[in-house]
């Protein structure tokens, strides 16, 4: 997922960008409203309201007029009036500084899921692979793949955003519901089993230094 950070303060923008990159996001940056409006298309925008050239609300209005890209306002302006105006202008969420990175990432994923219209228990099709979360079934070229519960949960997590790199930490949190930061060998064991059962190791790609992604 490509994220555009619109923030003029380097001390905020750089640590945020690095944190998002560690989680597998591709990050673009803009230090002004004009740069944000001239930036190439991305999957989601993190927009500060206090910019050196334009009011962030005006940038929000212009971005929304151009496209349906998800926009999360990230600002120190926490007054109710600012929140209401931002949401009415088309922002999808509003986060007040200071904020925790984990909370922001959770909001990014929630907004992205809503924007894609992915039902939590829906069917995802990636080429010849079909993952049915409601029935907890996976098929390749119409052939059902017999998976253990954790293998299915891992595949479903990867299939939620095909092509996006998911960090090992995120997979532990989503699939194993733990924040354990020690050995992640159990993930490698399950990935190896999934590759074997899917019949093609290329379905799940290793992203060096990050984690894994499902081939888009």
pLDDT value at residue 91 = 86
CATH fold of 2-116: Rossmann fold (3.40.50)
What is the separation of C-alpha 62 from the centre of its chain, rounded to a whole number of angstroms?
Answer: 23
The DSSP symbol for 213 reads E
| Secondary structure (3-state) at 76 | coil
Task: Give me the helix-helix angle, 185-198 and 149-159, nearest 10°.
Answer: 80
pLDDT value at residue 179 = 54
Domain map (residue ranges) of the chain: 2-116, 123-214
For residue 13 the two structure tokens come to 């923008």
Q: Does the domain formed by 123-214 have CATH 3.40.640.10?
A: no
Cβ distance 20 to 46 under 8 Å?
no
The Cα 30–Cα 151 span in angstroms is 39
The Cα 203–Cα 216 span in angstroms is 9
**pLDDT in 10s for each residue of the chain, 216 residues:** 899 999 999 999 999 999 999 888 999 999 999 999 999 999 899 999 899 999 988 999 999 888 888 999 988 876 767 777 777 778 888 888 888 888 898 888 878 766 665 545 578 888 899 999 888 899 999 899 999 988 999 999 999 888 888 988 888 888 876 655 555 678 889 999 999 999 999 999 999 888 999 987
With b for 16 or more beta-carbon neighbours within 10 A and e for fewer, the 56-80 pattern comes to: bbebbbebbeeeebbbbbbbebeee
> Which phi-psi region, left, alpha or beta, contains residue 149 (left: φ > 0; alpha: ψ -120 to 50)?
alpha
Cβ distance 156 to 125 under 8 Å?
no
For residue 120 the two structure tokens come to 């939590």
C-alpha angle 55-35-4 in degrees, rounded to nearest 5? 90
pLDDT value at residue 3 = 95
The DSSP symbol for 136 reads T
- Helix %, strand %, coil % for the chain, to 5? 40, 25, 35
C-alpha angle 212-214-216 in degrees, rounded to nearest 5? 135
Which residue, chain included where needed, has tokens 């019949």?
Answer: 199
């Amino acid at each position: 997922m490509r994220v555009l950070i619109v923030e003029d303060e380097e001390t905020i923008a750089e640590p945020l960008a690095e944190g998002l990159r560690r989680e597998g996001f591709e990050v673009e940056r803009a230090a002004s409203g004009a740069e944000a409006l001239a930036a190439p298309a991305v999957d989601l925008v993190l927009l500060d309201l206090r910019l050196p050239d334009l009011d962030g609300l005006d940038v929000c209005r212009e971005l929304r007029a151009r496209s349906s890209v998800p926009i999360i306002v990230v600002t120190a302006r926490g007054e109710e009036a600012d929140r209401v105006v931002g949401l009415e202008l088309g922002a999808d969420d509003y986060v007040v500084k200071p904020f925790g990175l984990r909370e922001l990432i959770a909001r990014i994923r929630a907004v992205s899921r809503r924007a894609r219209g992915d039902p939590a228990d829906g069917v995802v099709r990636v080429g010849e692979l079909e993952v049915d979360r409601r029935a907890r079934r996976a098929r390749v070229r119409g052939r059902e793949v017999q998976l253990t519960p954790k293998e299915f949960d891992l595949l479903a997590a990867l299939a939620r955003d095909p092509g996006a790199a998911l960090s090992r930490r995120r997979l532990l949190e989503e699939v194993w519901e733990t924040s354990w930061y020690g050995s992640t060998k159990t993930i490698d064991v399950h990935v190896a089993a999934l590759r074997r059962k899917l019949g093609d190791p290329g379905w799940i790609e290793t992203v060096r230094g990050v984690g894994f992604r499902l081939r888009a």
